[in-house]
Chains A and B, each alone.
Chain A
Amino acid sequence: MLQPPYASGPSLPDTSRLVRVLKLELKGITKRFGSLVANDHIDVVVEPGQIHCLLGENGAGKSTLMNVLYGLYEPTEGEILIDDKPVTFRGPGDAMAAGIGMVHQHFMLVPVFTVAENVALGAETTKTGGFLDLEDTRRKIREISDRYGFDVDPDALIEDLPVGVQQRVEIIKALVRDAKVLILDEPTAVLTPQDTDELLDIMRQLKSHGTSIVFISHKLREVKAVSDTITVIRRGKVVGSADPGASTTELASMMVGRAVSLTLDKAPANPQETTFEVKDLTVIAPSGQHVVDGISFGIARGEILAIAGVQGNGQTELTEAILGLHERAHGSITLDGEELLGRSVKDVLNAGVGFVPEDRSLDGLIGTFSIAENLILDRYDQAPFAKGISMSPAKVLENAKTRIEEFDVRTPSGMLAAGTLSGGNQQKVVMARELSRPLRLFIASQPTRGVDVGSIEFLHKRIVAERDHGTPVMIVSTELDEVIELADRIAVLYKGRLVGIVPAGTGRDVLGLMMAGVSLDEAQADAAGKHSAQRPAPTTAENPAGNTAENPAGTPAANPATTPATSQAPAAPSVQEPGSGAVGDHHE
């Protein structure tokens, strides 16, 4: 996933080329979906050559606004002005013609096409008779790659490329179409901190070439690092604009609408004996790739182990293997000495494993089933809900009433389809189901993804309560903030391997480097010496296997110091306020 560091730094503004810049203005944009107002009279002005950030929580209406701007939605009211002239976009084609490009959060690339085919699509150069002239596209790709130091092979298949490169292809797509304004929708969600840094550099380069950028994010650190102007959106309305110099707490409270405590009040962990152990776990994908590669760790009762890492580094497969969803998993997974590997999902669940999957709508809930049915999804065949193969609907409803109340699920009835609930309430249903039986292990993947702030607090408290109840808890999250907030110990995964296990309180910069595959020792050395202005060469792609051996996991009793080197960790970068990360410092 790592990109070779490109040779030159940000190049100087290319003054020899006269670049047409344009000013973009959104005036009173309102977008309604039925009774819902996603955007309510939003005014935004993007000055030429600026990086303009739209900051807002999940669900604030940022993406809707950008889809209006990109011609994917028609605004209910309001107008878009380019260089003070009103324009109407009937589709993305119009928007592109007007010089607007967009990199979507979920990449819009055809996986079975080559880079060149993807770039050409919709803006094809043709020879006579409508035949494709991909050579022309390849030339353009090389040209842009050279200009910005991308390393993209025009003939590679998209599905073979790492996420970071795919994102560059998306940027190339926009640039080939001569985009003057580039919309980046949550571009860092899938990137490592290091890839993120590179992206921020690319954004600065683009700006220096005269491209304006609309940067959509809810990550305060990145926003502060790169923006010229910040517009904060909340519940479909512009609540104000801010200066990049504003403090993180200030921005956060604007974004959320009230003062937020960014840290969770939780009692220190009281770890007891280790009951859950994973030893030399390897999961092999159908391709033969080792997606989880020789992982060992343990979790004690009464502690939370967070698995950190960038999405796609084996977390999904790790949890799936524990649950028994993977056929080709080797090693050993024991709970209270009982082997779980090789058993069916049902057996594992019945052994007392509670599991909140990372994608609740896909794996955790059946959207068309009622809430009541979803609340017994893994126990439909057990007493009191079933006798033999005959089910008791009354008991199912009764259970629903209790759980809905207990977990504060906002719904008028347990009979409603679960798909009609908000993200937060859906997650509460999943949690309610998993936490409503005696557990010996609780695993939650991305427990608060796409969940509103109010629910996040509630869900976090529930997780901590389960820990305090004496259950070993494993959290998998790609959000570093969440990891730092919940974890008692943090295990970092990179390319299926365990880079290391560090105690809570380890610095964000150290974790970030580890998430890029840098070994713990090096990460700490580097983090300590970061002011020496030397950029780390993230070339340690192949993490020596010895690294995991150095951190003999499964000895959580010796919690604070798994390796000698960690002893300095708590001291040096100390606990920071989440949100004020090292990334900003890195470049200034």
Chain B
Amino acid sequence: MSTTATSPVQGESQPDKGRRPAVSTKPVTWKLPVTLSVLATIAFIFFGLLGPQANAKFGVSSGGDFFQLPAIDVPAFLSGMVLSLILLGLAGYALVLKAKKNVRPPSWLPAVFTVVFVVAFLIWVVGGARTPSISLAGLIAGSVTLAVPIVFGSLSGVLCERAGVVNIAIESQLLGGAFTAALVASLTHNPYLGLLAAAVAGALVSMVLALFSIKYVVNQIIVGVVLNVLVSGLTGFLFTTVMQSDPEKYNSPAELPIIDIPVLSGIPVIGPILFKQSVVGYLMYVAVIVIWVALFKTKWGLRVRAVGEHPQAADTLGINVNATRFWNVTLGGAVAGIGGSFFTLVAIDSFTKEISGGRGFIALAAMILGRWNPIGAFFAALLFGFADNLQSIVTIIGTPVPSQFMAMLPYVVTVFAVAGLVGRSRPPAADGIPYIKG
């Protein structure tokens, strides 16, 4: 790099920070109210007017619960009408706020809207099915299960991008974690070692991202894209040459047990999701909370966010920008690696090629939808897990909605999100911009 010393380029600069106050960066647009109105209208037409006449039946309790609740039986048409009218009301409120006061709707509004919409949608789907009955408890528990790797992946994204490094490589971190967990857990017959190895593997993948994007200033998106290919090739190669040569020895990982906390796990609906999880599942909740607290309440978090927003300012205050980024990216990789281990140590009992199946990209989407906030990302990931789970359930109960459409949903929602149609998301200001010390 010392060769670059001869010709600094005068032309390259960041936008003048001094100009910032003149034009405020917080426009209030029509996008959100209009989008909500469109969605509410769709809901009114389909879930309401054209809603199915049957009753939708939702089982709340499962057999193991320590007390049983009766199943909820709702008339699909009526509830569709009511809920879509609520949606119209919410959208109308947003429109009024924009038109009369030129303010954005309160932040609870899109969240409430989403929840109501999802409920209305669910009733519509179930009510229109051949067998209009599903287990709500099972649906939610399944959603959480499917969301676990997505949550870890999105946390990895949050850790990297809050420090200013774009992480397109979540997919490869998950995949690397899944492979290593399977291999190590098989060889050692110890799933916990597999878990640890997955974290290390994720961190190693991330270190490559960090090395190339920070030290060699290669475009972060390029490194991320290429890493996905590299890890996919590497795990595929080793899967064929090593694992398949002796699956018994190399690809039969010991599974992580499900730890059932007595009594608590028997609470209907929330019991299984909070108190009947594998170690990875519990770790997920811990990770979300710890990372949120660390980012927003601690000295470390303040520094990380400063590095992601204004690295030069951080540098002038004695914070080592590139070291901060390097370790954050590495940590992010470790987190994603743990998420990857979920595939091979909890969900499926062996590794197969491309086992992560694009969930790294859904995790990226969850991070964006969650606005680079661990808790936001967690709920976005849950939503995606829900869509994923619903997809398999609708196939079983037989609804008119094609399951491919359900599978598509997270991606469509994300496109809407980045287009600013469901609220504005602002990434950290220095996200993706390498820091080259002056």
Q: Could you list which residues of chain A lie within 8 angstroms of chain B, going by C-beta atoms?
A: 33-36, 67, 70, 72-73, 91-94, 96, 102, 104, 106-113, 117-118, 120-124, 126, 129-132, 159-163, 173, 190, 285-289, 291, 311-314, 316-317, 359, 361-362, 365-368, 418-423, 426
- B19: A residues at CB distance < 8 A: 311-312, 316
CA distance A73 to B20 in the complex (A): 27
B13 to chain A, nearest CB (A): 5
Q: Is the CB of B11 within 8 A of A365?
A: yes
In whole angstroms, how far apart are the Cα atoms of A173 and B318 in the complex? 13
Q: By the criterion CB–CB under 8 Å, are B18 and A361 in contact? A: no
Judging by beta carbons under 8 Å apart, are A122 and B22 in contact? no
- Let me know if B70 is at the binding interface, CB within 8 A: no
Minimal beta-carbon separation of A279 from chain B (angstroms): 23
- Residues of A with C-beta under 8 A to B371: none
Contact B22 A159 (CB under 8 A): no
Q: B35 at the A/B interface (Cβ < 8 Å)?
A: no
- Given contact pairs A33-B8, A311-B19, enumerate 12 new A-B contacts (beta carbons under 8 Å): A73-B438, A94-B318, A96-B318, A104-B316, A113-B306, A159-B20, A312-B18, A361-B10, A362-B13, A422-B10, A423-B10, A426-B10
Measured in the bound complex, the distance between the Cα atoms of B364 and A76 in whole Å is 44
- Of A92, A106, A418, the residue contacting B16 (CB under 8 A) is A106
Q: Which of A122, A159, A362, A420 is within 8 Å of B317, CB to CB?
A: A122
Assuming the contacts A33-B5, A67-B438, A92-B316, asked whether A121 and B20 have C-beta atoms less than 8 A apart, the reply is no
> A295 CB to closest chain B CB, in angstroms?
15
Whole-angstrom distance between the Cβ of A98 and the nearest chain B Cβ? 12
What are 25 pairs between A and B in contact, CB < 8 Å? A72-B315, A91-B320, A92-B316, A102-B316, A104-B316, A108-B313, A108-B317, A111-B20, A113-B305, A117-B302, A122-B314, A122-B317, A124-B299, A124-B303, A287-B24, A291-B23, A312-B18, A312-B19, A316-B22, A317-B22, A366-B11, A418-B11, A419-B11, A419-B12, A426-B11
Question: Are B6 and A124 touching (Cβ within 8 A)?
Answer: no
Judging by beta carbons under 8 Å apart, are A92 and B318 in contact?
Answer: yes
Q: Given contacts A131-B298, A291-B22, are A110 and B313 in contact (CB under 8 A)?
A: yes
User: In the complex, are the beta carbons of A132 and B297 less than 8 A apart?
Assistant: yes
Q: Are B318 and A287 in contact (CB under 8 A)?
A: no
Residues in B neighbouring A113, C-beta threshold 8 A: 302, 305-306, 309
Which residues from 12 to 47 on chain B have a C-beta closer than 8 Å to any C-beta of chain A?
A: 12-13, 15-28
Smallest CB–CB gap between B301 and chain A, Å? Answer: 8
Residue of A67, A124, A314 with highest tally of chain B CB at under 10 A: A124
B interface list, Cβ under 8 A from A: 5-13, 15-28, 102, 297-300, 302-303, 305-306, 309-310, 312-320, 429, 437-438
State the CA gap A109–B299 with chains docked (Å): 17
Bound Cα distance A102, B316 (Å): 9
A130 close to B17 (CB less than 8 A): no
Q: Is the CB of B11 within 8 A of A361?
A: yes
Q: Tell me the minimal C-beta distance from B426 to chain A in angstroms.
A: 8
Instruction: Give the one of B27, B300, B303, B316 with max A CB within 10 A.
Output: B316
Whether the pair B438, A72 counts as a contact (CB closer than 8 A) is: yes
Partner of A121, one of B22, B27, B306: B306
Chain A residues with CB under 8 Å of B7's CB are: 34, 420
State how many angstroms separate the Cβ of A205 from the closest Cβ of chain B. 24
In the bound assembly, the distance between CA atoms of A314 and B13 in angstroms comes to 22
Closest residue on chain B to residue A162 by CB atoms: B21
Residues of B within 8 A of A34 (CB): 5-7
| Set of chain B residues within 8 Å of A33, measured between Cβ atoms | 5-6, 8
A121 touching B314 by the CB < 8 A rule? yes
10 A-B pairs closest in CB distance? A93-B318, A367-B11, A122-B317, A286-B27, A287-B24, A34-B5, A419-B11, A108-B313, A34-B6, A361-B11
Instruction: Output the residue of A91, A161, A317 with the most chain B CB within 10 A.
Output: A91
Query: What B residues does A126 contact at CB under 8 A?
Result: 298-299
Name the distance in Å between B206's Cβ and chain A's nearest Cβ.
23
Contact between A159 and B10 (Cβ–Cβ < 8 Å)? Answer: no
Task: Kindly state the separation between the CA atoms of A419 and B10 in the bound complex, as whole angstroms.
Answer: 6
Q: Are B16's CB and A359's CB within 8 A?
A: yes
Taking a contact as CB atoms closer than 8 A, the residue among A91, A106, A422 that contacts B18 in the complex is A106
Minimum CB distance partner of B294 in chain A:
A130
**Alpha-carbon gap, A106 to B438, bound state (A):** 14
* B355: min CB distance to chain A, Å: 37
Contact of B21 among A35, A288, A312 (CB under 8 A): A312
Chain B residues with CB under 8 A of A163: 18, 21
